[in-house]
Amino acid sequence: GENVEQHPSTLSVQEGDSAVIKCTYSDSASNYFPWYKQELGKRPQLIIDIRSNVGEKKDQRIAVTLNKTAKHFSLHITETQPEDSAVYFCAASVRDTNAGKSTFGDGTTLTVKP
Amino acid sequence: KAGVTQTPRYLIKTRGQQVTLSCSPISGHRSVSWYQQTPGQGLQFLFEYFSETQRNKGNFPGRFSGRQFSNSRSEMNVSTLELGDSALYLCASRGVGLGVYNEQFFGPGTRLTVL
């Protein structure tokens, strides 16, 4: 089955710095790669996603890159702010018309120091 | 639209008992997935239902089972509870069909504690 590895497990940065979280996956059939943010005591929420036919996607301060050949994808957060502090999860999914199994990484706890 | 809801929000059981958790998806969403989240761990996929049929299954023992009703509401059941089953159980719903890459929305979760 699919295996997703996520690094680092914890990341501490100064406000205004950039943060990078990396994930690798094993199943070449995976075609959808979402990233979720989970604040303490809250549910995971999608922050950005990328499809297998796209190499990069950006949304304001957040960007995701995908290297299908190497089977890895990364989340980049620029100009970090204290409210970016949370646990971030990557996932690799095999999506078709009626189903979609998602395998998640173990999460990265990001702390942004003011 | 109302979001994904789960009941109950908190549950305390003892070893050996069984438990049933409920998930109501966003109106119109027909895919429901269940995940187990333990402290410091990621989300472990349990199973996915679409149109009352289990489409995918994770690597959990047979004590974990689920079902989906015609209105897309879903339940999961855990029999013969073990201490290690203590976790946050999250369900997520997704609209399928025309949008293969539709967003998955999570519910607030049910916190299960096994004593």
Could you please report the per-residue DSSP string of B5-61?
EEE-SEEEE-TT--EEEEEEPPTT--EEEEEEE-TT--EEEEEEEETTEEEEE-S--
Q: What is the pLDDT of residue B39?
A: 80
Residues of chain A with confidence (pLDDT) below 70? 97-98
- The pLDDT-based confidence of B81 (bands split at 50, 70, 90) is very high
Residues 19-48, chain B, touching A (beta carbon < 8 A): 31, 33, 35, 41-45, 48
Tokens 């990265």 — which residue?
Answer: A108
Of A54 and B47, more confident: B47
Partner residue opposite B45 with nearest CB, options A44, A49, A101: A101
Q: What is the pLDDT of residue B40?
A: 67
Q: Work out the minimum CA distance from B26 to partner chain A, whole angstroms.
A: 15
Q: A42 to chain B: which residues are within 8 Å by CB?
A: 108
Q: Considering only alpha carbons, which residue of chain A is nearest residue B110?
A: A43
Average pLDDT score over chain B: 92
Residue B6 CB burial class (10 angstroms; 0-12, 13-18, ≥19): buried
Residues 6+ apart with CB under 8 A from B47: B33, B34, B54, B56, B57, B58, B64, B66, B76
Provide the CA A52 distance to its chain's centre, in angstroms. Answer: 14
> Is the pLDDT confidence value at B4 over 70?
yes
> Is the pLDDT confidence value at B98 over 60?
no
Q: What is the pLDDT of residue B95?
A: 81
